[in-house]
């Protein structure tokens, strides 16, 4: 019989002017995997920060009872001391230190300040075995992939004798395969009796591993579902407060002539000069058509898009691009933009936004010519444009003068989209347009994509979420290891077909 | 997820701003830093006005203040763009010294014939300054060498070349009077002086210097026109905003701000007018300040510089040629360093090996006191100018008070630290 390990009662947290959490209740039983889901900005992260002491006791109302005693955490140290460990979405590892050094950072086995590396390494080896990571403990973090880094984070948590493990969007930047492995690991921990809280957007994952799901909306607990009641539809309904009959907006494609033709496109790796990343691929996109590019992480999809967009990636780029039948020179970003090509990055924080500037300045950045004359910006015209796009893409912010760094993921994505829509492209390449954003905002992004296609734009969508590709595209290319290994009409495609194309492609490549 | 701790307050339906009282408060809060800086400058000036028993605001001293600090402010304009772009330039003091030495030699030592005309020399020197900026910017922009290292090298190179040009420890001069006017001259009174109170005549029939009150009318007229234009354009901008259906800054705030600034400017103009009028270098500096405010606030190139400093990768992927932009920023810095060097030489009337020595630190301090971020992407022209004047007033006031130079440095260091701590504290609170 399971007992309650954690109970958060009537947690209320206010920021100046905003009530982030109001009377939230969360009850986690010993040994379960408890998922917390909710739209971005619903208050999940705030709740976890309250729990871990980032917001110290006294700055919020309500009670935290952990393992039978009421806790007043003053900081992360207090909560970690009790065995509550959070692994954040953005990993907190030092890239130029080794796995061992990272795991025991600030917590080294040492005698009088002198580190006993042998003892640390021995423990690391044990921890790595537990999380199923086969790497030399001396490997530098920078030399292993994101998936493995996540495992190192978990090993680090285990080294602290964790009683309650909290994972914030752990699979957001992982490939399908790594995600599966991570979830399996969670289930394995559960078998060993560990309790975890999983914060996730990916409902299929929640569905797969969670024993209970607590749904938070607008800073309130909506409900907690037990295993037998968990279904994606039920969760979505609770999350958005309305039922989404269809997760994808309906559209009637009106497909015209070929706009963009890419012939025999080849790209080499920017550092390893002899490694060919893109191996002579052909892609066509028509007017009003939404074309998807499916594939696993590392298939070369982003590399392809960025090399196309002003040679922003790679070296020794060869191949031909025809726009409306004529060859065009896309050798710099400004040339690509001038020819009506836009690329919306998969990593909006690193490549998409100036986070320390406000919405207005971000929206006009790619087309400053559109709001200026002779290099002088027309302030009011710019304000009109920004407000116009804010309305069109439904950016939720107090005004266009809000810093983009303070927006939620979905709203940030809408700002990036607005920026490129204002550049008025003919061809729009969207790289993982809904990564890390919630169901409601996803639907809005899909609606925008559908509207753009209806306006006659040619759209390429790169996505790792196969249901999304099947839901919103007209045609799908499957990429693997730098090659196109399949092409199918969307209404004829299925997840199995795409996977089969990838697997067959892998066979061919080796 | 870690950055979004609170739900976004939603007022998606209200266009262009929220309800009025909250808007007034938020406008005040967002501008608090800028106002605070100006208030700090005023407070420091009032403080020294008392501790120097009224010397600080004496017309003669105000002219000195401007003439002593103009080169710092001129170079701070370039440094602001460098720092906003996310770089640093340690070489500006050495480049200024080198250009001063070069100009002195061209005018005095080398026999260049018509080329030794001060105007020709000045223009050539500005071009050479630009070339120096380009040479340093080239490594920074196209080879990604950290600006700290490139300009540290430049600092050593140009200080050395400055000393070499001056033949070791000696100085070159005196420089022609026409050239020295740049720093020590005053604008001519085209309208003619206006005598308000006739000067007292002594027994010998000569006027007593400093008695009576005569105004430099050209200065007064320029000052009054300037203030009138400031008020007019301020009102016009408000009206245009409102006509387009946007809420402008609350009227009370606007009125107070405009009146305070106008009164302050008119007071200073009056003080200059009772002496010899505007120093030439003040007009040069004012024109440059106006130009840089316009470039940073209204021009696309200014916007691109801020975007590059805020997120270079995103700027590049938005079609901004960040390499060329970096080069431009350093060329601009080079030209302004050269101008700074000319101003120093003209003020001293000669070129000396130590000209501009250590001034890069004053320039950088001015920009940071003015609220720029060392991470790039943040900073204002007016902030840097006010920061420069804060440094200048402190130098000047403490010198008059007789504070030892060593302790002056200590105080300046503490003010720099305090200003940045205040900034960081504000940001974390906000």
Distance CA A485, CA B405 (A): 75
Residues A464 and A396 both lie in one domain: yes
What pLDDT is recorded for position B4? Answer: 36
pLDDT band for A246, please (50, 70, 90 cuts).
low
Residue A270 within a domain = no
Side-chain half-sphere exposure of A362, counting CA atoms within 13 A: 32
Give pTM, 2 decimals: 0.79
Residue A253 within a domain = no
Instruction: Check CB contact under 8 Å for B316 and A333.
Output: yes
Distance CA B137, CA B134 (A): 5
Helices and strands in chain B: count of H runs, count of E runs: 15, 2
Residues A214 and A302 both lie in one domain: no
Residue A412 within a domain = yes
- Lowest mean pLDDT of A42-46, A456-460, B180-184, name the range: A42-46
A374: cis peptide before it, omega within 30°?
no
Residues A84 and A203 both lie in one domain: yes
| Domain containing residue A180 | 4-240
Domain boundary among A214, A240, A266: A240
Side-chain half-sphere exposure of A321, counting CA atoms within 13 A: 23
Query: Looking at residues B363-388, what average pLDDT do you find?
Result: 92
Residues A201 and A308 both lie in one domain: no
pLDDT per residue as tens digits for the range B19-44: 455 555 666 665 666 677 888 888 88
Instruction: Check CB contact under 8 Å for A312 and B318.
Output: no
Residue A462 within a domain = yes
Closest alpha carbon within chain B to A330: B319
Distance CA A33, CA A35 (A): 6
Nearest in space to A41 (alpha carbons), one of A20, A17, A15:
A20
**Are the C-beta atoms of A365 and B318 separated by less than 8 Å?**
yes
Query: Looking at residues A78-90, what average pLDDT do you find?
Result: 84
Distance CA A148, CA A182 (A): 10
* Residues β-bridged to residue A480: A483
CB atoms within 10 A of CB A130: 17
Residues A54 and A126 both lie in one domain: yes
Query: Looking at residues B81-105, what average pLDDT do you find?
Result: 96
B window 384-403, beta carbon within 8 A of A: none
Residue A280 within a domain = no
Residues A227 and A362 both lie in one domain: no
Top-ranked range on mean pLDDT: pick from A85-89, B29-33, B276-280 = B276-280
Residues A305 and A160 both lie in one domain: no
Greater confidence, B430 or B365?
A: B365
Task: Give, in degrees to the nearest 5, the angle at Cα A25 between A23 and A27.
Answer: 170
Residues A31 and A163 both lie in one domain: yes
Distance CA A89, CA A149 (A): 12
Query: Looking at residues B214-226, what average pLDDT do you find?
Result: 90
User: For chain A, how many structural domains are there in total?
Assistant: 2
Query: Looking at residues A81-105, what average pLDDT do you find?
Result: 85
Residue A487 has pLDDT above 70, yes or no: yes
| B11 and chain A in contact, CB less than 8 A | yes
Query: Looking at residues A206-215, what average pLDDT do you find?
Result: 90
The secondary structure of residue B207, as a DSSP letter, is B
Query: How many Cβ pairs closer than 8 A exist between chain A and B?
Result: 154
Residue A504 has pLDDT above 90, yes or no: no
Residues A159 and A54 both lie in one domain: yes
What pLDDT is recorded for position B11? Answer: 38
Query: Looking at residues B77-84, what average pLDDT do you find?
Result: 97
Distance CA A62, CA A70 (A): 11
Distance CA A168, CA A173 (A): 12
Residue A509 has pLDDT above 50, yes or no: no
What pLDDT is recorded for position B29? Answer: 62
Closest alpha carbon within chain A to B373: A356
Instruction: Check CB contact under 8 Å for B4 and A407.
Output: yes
pLDDT band for B199, please (50, 70, 90 cuts).
confident
Residue B368 has pLDDT above 90, yes or no: yes
**Are the C-beta atoms of B172 and B105 separated by less than 8 Å?**
yes
Q: Which CATH number goes with the domain that contains A27?
A: 3.40.50.300
Query: Looking at residues B331-358, what average pLDDT do you find?
Result: 94
Residues A196 and A297 both lie in one domain: no
Domain boundary among A220, A240, A260: A240
Residue A256 within a domain = no
Distance CA B399, CA B348 (A): 18
Percent pLDDT > 90 in chain B is: 52
Element (H, E) at A28: strand A18-29
Instruction: Check CB contact under 8 Å for B315 and A42.
Output: no
| B424 and chain A in contact, CB less than 8 A | no
Nearest in space to B131 (alpha carbons), one of B79, B103, B160, B95:
B95
What is the pLDDT of chain B when averaged over all its residues?
86
**Are the C-beta atoms of A38 and A216 separated by less than 8 Å?**
yes
Instruction: Check CB contact under 8 Å for A169 and B1.
Output: yes
Residue A142 has pLDDT above 90, yes or no: no
Domain boundary among A182, A210, A240: A240
Residue A266 within a domain = no
| A405 and chain B in contact, CB less than 8 A | yes
Residue A16 within a domain = yes
* Residues β-bridged to residue A29: A4
Residues A465 and A381 both lie in one domain: yes
- B322-348 and B280-298 helices cross at what angle (nearest 10)? 170
Residues A137 and A199 both lie in one domain: yes
| B4 and chain A in contact, CB less than 8 A | yes
Instruction: Check CB contact under 8 Å for B314 and A366.
Output: no
Closest alpha carbon within chain B to A308: B317
pLDDT per residue as tens digits for the range A306-351: 999 988 888 888 999 999 989 999 989 989 999 999 999 988 888 9
The contacts of residue B291 (CB under 8 Å, 6+ apart) are none
């Amino acid at each position: 019989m399971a007992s309650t390990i954690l109970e958060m009662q009537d947690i209320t947290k206010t920021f100046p002017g905003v009530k982030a959490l109001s009377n939230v209740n969360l009850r986690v039983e010993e040994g379960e995997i408890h998922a917390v889901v909710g739209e971005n900005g619903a208050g999940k992260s705030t709740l976890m920060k309250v729990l871990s002491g980032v917001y110290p006791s006294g700055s919020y109302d309500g009670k935290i009872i952990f393992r039978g005693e009421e806790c007043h955490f003053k900081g992360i140290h207090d909560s970690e001391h009790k065995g509550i460990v959070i692994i954040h979405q953005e990993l907190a590892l030092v890239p130029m230190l080794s796995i061992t050094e990272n795991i025991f950072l600030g917590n080294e086995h040492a005698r009088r300040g002198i580190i006993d590396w042998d003892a640390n390494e021995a423990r690391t080896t044990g921890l790595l075995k537990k999380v199923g990571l086969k790497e030399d403990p001396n490997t530098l973090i920078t030399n292993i992939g994101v998936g493995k880094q996540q495992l190192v984070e978990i090993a680090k948590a285990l080294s602290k004798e964790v009683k309650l493990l909290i994972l914030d969007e752990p699979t957001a930047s992982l490939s399908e395969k790594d995600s599966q492995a991570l979830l399996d690991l969670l289930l394995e921990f559960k078998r060993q009796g560990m309790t975890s809280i999983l914060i996730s957007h990916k409902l299929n994952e929640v569905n797969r591993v969670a024993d209970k799901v607590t749904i938070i909306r607008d800073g309130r607990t909506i409900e907690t579902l037990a295993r037998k009641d968990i279904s994606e539809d039920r969760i979505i309904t609770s999350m958005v407060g309305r039922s989404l009959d269809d997760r994808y907006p309906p559209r009637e494609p009106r497909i015209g002539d070929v706009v963009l033709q890419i012939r025999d496109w080849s790209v080499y790796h920017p550092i390893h000069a002899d490694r060919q990343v893109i191996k002579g691929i052909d892609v066509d996109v028509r007017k009003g058509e939404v074309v998807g590019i499916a594939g696993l992480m590392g298939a070369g999809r982003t590399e392809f898009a960025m090399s196309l967009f002003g040679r922003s990636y790679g070296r020794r780029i060869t191949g031909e691009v025809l726009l409306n039948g004529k060859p065009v020179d896309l050798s710099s970003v400004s040339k690509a933009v001038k020819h009506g090509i836009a690329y919306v990055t998969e990593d909006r924080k690193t490549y998409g936004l100036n986070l320390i500037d406000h919405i207005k300045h971000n929206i006009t950045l790619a087309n400053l010519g559109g709001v200026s004359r002779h290099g002088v910006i027309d302030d009011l015209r710019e304000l009109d444009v920004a407000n116009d796009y804010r309305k069109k893409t439904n950016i939720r912010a107090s005004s266009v003068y809000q810093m983009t760094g303070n927006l939620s993921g979905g709203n940030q994505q809408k700002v990036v989209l607005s920026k490129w829509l204002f550049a008025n492209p003919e061809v729009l390449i969207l790289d993982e347009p809904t990564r890390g954003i919630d169901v409601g905002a996803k639907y809005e992004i899909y609606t925008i994509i559908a509207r753009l296609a209806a306006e006659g734009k040619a759209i390429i969508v790169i996505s790792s979420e196969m249901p999304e590709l099947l839901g919103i595209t007209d045609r799908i290319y499957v990429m693997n290891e730098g090659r196109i290994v399949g092409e199918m009409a969307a209404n004829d495609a299925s997840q199995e077909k795409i996977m089969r194309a990838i697997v067959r492609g892998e066979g061919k490549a080796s | 997820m870690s950055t979004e701790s609170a739900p976004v307050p939603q007022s998606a339906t209200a266009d262009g701003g929220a309800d009025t009282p909250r808007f007034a408060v938020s406008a005040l809060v967002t501008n608090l830093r800028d106002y605070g800086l100006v208030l700090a400058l005023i407070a420091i000036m009032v403080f020294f006005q008392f501790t120097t028993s009224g010397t600080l605001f004496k017309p003669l001293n105000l002219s000195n203040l401007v003439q002593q600090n103009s080169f710092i402010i001129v170079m701070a304009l370039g440094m602001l763009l460098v720092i906003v772009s996310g770089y640093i330039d340690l070489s500006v003091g050495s480049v200024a010294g080198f250009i001063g030495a070069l100009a002195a030699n061209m005018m005095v030592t080398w026999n260049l014939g018509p080329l030794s005309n001060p105007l020709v020399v000045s223009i050539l020197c500005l071009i050479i300054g630009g070339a120096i900026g380009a040479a340093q910017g080239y490594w920074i922009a196209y080879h990604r060498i950290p600006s700290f290292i490139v300009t540290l090298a430049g600092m050593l190179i140009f200080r050395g070349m400055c000393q070499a040009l001056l033949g070791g420890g000696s100085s070159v001069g005196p420089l022609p009077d026409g050239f020295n006017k740049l720093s020590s001259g005053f604008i001519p009174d085209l309208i003619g002086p206006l005598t308000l109170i006739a000067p007292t005549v002594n027994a010998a029939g000569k006027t007593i210097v400093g008695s009576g009150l005569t105004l430099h009318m050209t200065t007064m007229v320029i000052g009054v026109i300037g203030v009138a234009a400031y008020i007019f354009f301020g009102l016009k901008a408000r009206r245009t905003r409102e006509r387009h259906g946007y809420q402008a800054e609350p009227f009370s705030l606007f009125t107070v701000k405009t009146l305070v600034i106008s009164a302050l400017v008119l007071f200073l103009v009056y003080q200059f007018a009772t002496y010899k009028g505007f120093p030439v270098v003040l007009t040069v500096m004012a024109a440059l300040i106006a130009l840089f405010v316009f470039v940073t606030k209204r021009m696309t190139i200014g916007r691109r510089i801020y975007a590059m400093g805020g997120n270079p990768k995103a700027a590049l992927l938005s079609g901004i040629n960040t390499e060329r932009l970096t080069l431009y920023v350093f060329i601009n810095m080079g030209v302004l360093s050269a101008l700074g060097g000319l101003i120093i030489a003209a003020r001293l009337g000669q070129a000396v090996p130590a000209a501009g020595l250590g001034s890069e630190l004053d320039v950088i301090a001015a920009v940071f006191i003015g609220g720029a971020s060392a991470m790039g992407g943040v900073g204002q022209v007016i902030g840097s100018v006010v920061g420069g004047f804060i440094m200048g007033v402190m130098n000047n006031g403490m010198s008059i008070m007789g504070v030892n130079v060593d302790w002056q440095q200590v105080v300046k260091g503490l003010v720099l630290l305090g200003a940045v701590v205040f900034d960081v504290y504000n940001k974390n609170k906000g």
